[in-house]
Amino acid sequence: MIGGRSTNFDAIARMSGQPAERTRFALDELNKRKLIGFAGENYVVYTSALDLLALKHYADKDYAMALGKLIAKGKESDVYEVLSPNSELFALKLFRLGRTSFRDVKRKRSRSKDDSNTWVTSNYNAARHEFAALLRLRKLTENVPTAVDQDRHTVLLQELPGVRLSQRPELDDADGILSVILRTAREAYTVSKMINGDLSEYNILTDGRRVWLIDWPQWVGPTHPNAAELLGRDVFTVLRFFLRAYGVKVDDERALRYVRGEVESLKVRRARSSTRGSG
């Protein structure tokens, strides 16, 4: 996939400060490795080259020594395991906006004034936006991943143990987990002024005891024109899932008021006795 804008040979040679012959040789080598290609007379950078540049950034900063397995291939990103020189495991999220549809690009794009729709703009902004969001949220709660660093179209995250809630894992205490999710959404909204906007069982990870709200590039603030609708959708999606999968019942309106900070407590009620996800 093409990542950058196309550039002609003269401009590249000038920028590189190298003799034309050397520049041509280097470009040919990159082309052989499928890191750059041609658009007519011009050269274009493929996303694989940007991936490597980001990896080099993390390697230079001693965060990355080896690239591990693909953890997940999402609609809008690929997430890889990364091993650091001191044996820490990180999750490297590489944004791939535009892989699905233009609507998603618009939805996930940060609200900057820059209106150009290039791959670079959309994906770099999404990564910056998510990194900034996680730094802000992490000051407030342990229930989001720690963001370690950011480069180009990527963010480097602490690798979380566990699985998506959508897999309906056995939970020690489903009521307690739901309470933590709603409390985290409440803290995000009332203190950080942030609404995830895409919260669901697919964007919540759990190890059965702890829980993390992930995937924040599309977050909006309370003054966003769709803020009320998005907050309601986030809360109701999670409630519907907990009722369906774990038989945990909370009054919808009460939960929404709780997340908005309008009431101090929640009433979580169990409709079934099992804590194993069903269905």
Ligand X SMILES: Nc1ncnc2c1ncn2[C@@H]1O[C@H](COP(=O)(O)OP(=O)(O)OP(=O)(O)O)[C@@H](O)[C@H]1O
Residue 203 touching Mg ion (CB under 5 A):
yes
> What whole-number distance in Å separates Cα of residue 111 and Cα of residue 208?
35
Tokens encoding 252: 């919808």
Residue 132 touching ligand X (CB under 6 A):
no
Which of ligand X, Mg ion, none is residue 150 near (CB under 5 to 8 Å by kind)? none
The yes-or-no answer on residue 251 being catalytic is no
> What whole-number distance in Å separates Cα of residue 258 and Cα of residue 253?
8
- Helix (H) / strand (E) element for 244: namely helix 227-246
User: Is the Cβ of residue 77 or residue 125 nearer to ligand X in the bound state?
Assistant: 77
For the chain, how big is the Rg over CA atoms in Å? 22
Spell out the residues 6+ positions from residue 33 whose beta carbon is closer than 8 angstroms to its own. Answer: none
Of 43, 51, 76, 246, which one interacts with ligand X (CB under 6 A)? 76
Of 49, 180, 214, 230, which one interacts with ligand X (CB under 6 A)? 214
Q: Which amino acid makes up residue 6? A: S
- Helix (H) / strand (E) element for 178: namely helix 174-190
* Binding map of ligand X across residues 184-213, x = CB under 6 A, - = no contact: ------------------xx----------
Which of ligand X, Mg ion, none is residue 76 near (CB under 5 to 8 Å by kind)? ligand X
User: Is the Cβ of residue 143 or residue 203 nearer to Mg ion in the bound state?
Assistant: 203
Q: Which amino acid makes up residue 130? A: E
Q: How far is the CB of 163 from ligand X (least distance, A)?
A: 7
CB 231 within 8 A of CB 189: yes
For CA atoms 84, 94, 117, 1, the dihedral sign is: positive
Which of ligand X, Mg ion, none is residue 77 near (CB under 5 to 8 Å by kind)? ligand X
Residue 70 touching ligand X (CB under 6 A):
no
Catalytic residue among 175, 198, 215, 234: 198
Q: How far is the CB of 87 from Mg ion (least distance, A)?
A: 27
183 class by beta-carbon count within 10 Å (0-12 exposed, 13-18 middle, 19+ buried): middle
# chain residues binding Mg ion, by CB under 5 A: 2
Q: Which of residues 208-267 bind Mg ion (CB under 5 A)?
A: 215
Q: Which of residues 145-174 bind ligand X (CB under 6 A)?
A: 145, 157-160, 164
Half-sphere exposure of 72 (CA within 13 A, CB side): 17
Helix (H, G, I), strand (E, B) or coil at 83: strand
Instruction: List residues near Mg ion by CB under 5 A.
Output: 203, 215
Instruction: List residues near ligand X by CB under 6 A.
Output: 71-72, 74-77, 79, 91, 93, 145, 157-160, 164, 202-203, 214-215
Could you give the residue numbers annotated as active site? 198
